[in-house]
Chain A
Amino acid sequence: MISEKTSQKITGIFLIIIMILGYTWGQGYKFADEMFESVIADVKTEKIISKHLHTNNEKDVNTMELRAKNKDGKIIPPYSTIANDFNSNLPFKNEMLTLNSHLLKRLNLREVYRTNGGVVLPNGYVAGVYPYTSTEYETKQIEDFKLFLDSNQIQLLYVNKPTKYVDDSYLMETMGISTYINDNSNRFLEKLDLLDIKYLDLREQMSDQSSFNYFFRTDHHWTVPAGKLAATSIAKKLNNEFGYNIDLSLYDDEAFVYKEYRNAWLGEQGKKIGIPFVGLDDYVSIIPNYPTSFNRFTGDRTITGTFEEALVNQNVYLPENNQNPQNASSWHYSYLGNNGRIQNNNNTDGKKILIIGDSYDAVTNAFLALGVSEVQGLILRNFSGNLRDFIKNNDFDTVIISYAAIMLGAHDNENSANYKMFDFE
Chain B
Amino acid sequence: MSMTDISFIFVFLPISLLIILLKPNWQKYFLLALSLVFYSCGSPKYLFLFVGLTIINTFLAHLIQILKSVNVFKKVVSLIILIMGILINIVVLFYYKYYDFSVSTINSIFNITITTKNLLLPMGISFFSFKAISLLIDVYKNTIILNNNPAYSMLYLSFYSQVISGPIARYGEFYANYTPVNLGKGIFERFSQGSHLFLRGFCKKVLFANILSPLVVEVFSSNIEKTPTATLWIGSIAYSLQLYYDFSGYSDMAIGIGQMHGINCKENFNYPYSTSSISEFWRRWHISLGSWFRDYIYFPMGGSRVNSKFRLYFNLLIVWLLTGIWHGANWTFIFWGFVYFFLISFEKTVKLPERIKNKPLKLIYRILCLLLINFQWIIFNSPNISYGLRYIKYMIIGNASDTFTDIRTIVLLQQYGLIMIVALILVMPVIPKLKEVLRKRNQILFSFMNLVFTVALIILFIFGISFVMAGQNNPFLYGNF
Contacts and interface: CB of A to CB of B under 8 A. Distances in A.
Pair from one complex: yes
Interface of A: 1-16, 18-20, 22-23, 26, 28, 31-32, 35-36, 39-40, 42-43, 45-47, 50, 79, 82-83, 86-87, 90, 93, 96-97, 99-101, 103, 107-112, 114, 172-173, 175-177, 272, 274
Contacts of A172: 407
Which of A31, A45, A176, A274 gathers most chain B CB within 10 Å? A176
A9 B192 contact: yes
Given A8-B196, A97-B469, A103-B467, A2 B7 contact: no
A19 B10 contact: yes
Given A7-B451, A173-B407, A109 B415 contact: yes
B191 interface: yes
Interface residues of B, number: 60
Nearest to A28: B11
Interface string B438-456: 0000010001101101100
Given A23-B11, A87-B7, A7 B466 contact: no
A7 B450 contact: yes
A97 B470 contact: yes
Contacts of A31: 7, 11
Contacts of A97: 466, 469-470
Nearest to A94: B469
Contacts of B453: 7
B149 to A, nearest CB: 26
Contacts of A36: 37
B457 A39 contact: no
Shortest Cβ-Cβ A-B pairs, 5 listed: A176-B408, A22-B10, A12-B192, A42-B44, A176-B407
B143 interface: no
A15 B467 contact: no
B410 interface: yes
Contacts of B448: 2
A114 B37 CA distance: 34
Contacts of A7: 196, 450-451, 453-454
Main secondary structure of the interface of B (DSSP, over half): helix
Nearest to B15: A32
A2 to B, nearest CB: 4
A35 B7 contact: yes
B11 A12 contact: no
Contacts of A109: 211, 415
Nearest to B2: A83
Given A43-B44, A103-B463, A176-B406, A14 B458 contact: yes
Contacts of A101: 470
A383 to B, nearest CB: 30
A39 B41 contact: yes
A407 B195 CA distance: 48
A117 to B, nearest CB: 9
Contacts of A103: 463, 466-467
Nearest to A83: B7
B329 interface: no
Contact of A86 (B6, B14, B471): B6
Contacts of A1: 443, 447
Contacts of B412: 176
A79 B44 CA distance: 10
Contact of B11 (A13, A35, A107, A112): A35
B417 to A, nearest CB: 9
Given A9-B192, A12-B195, A272 B471 contact: yes
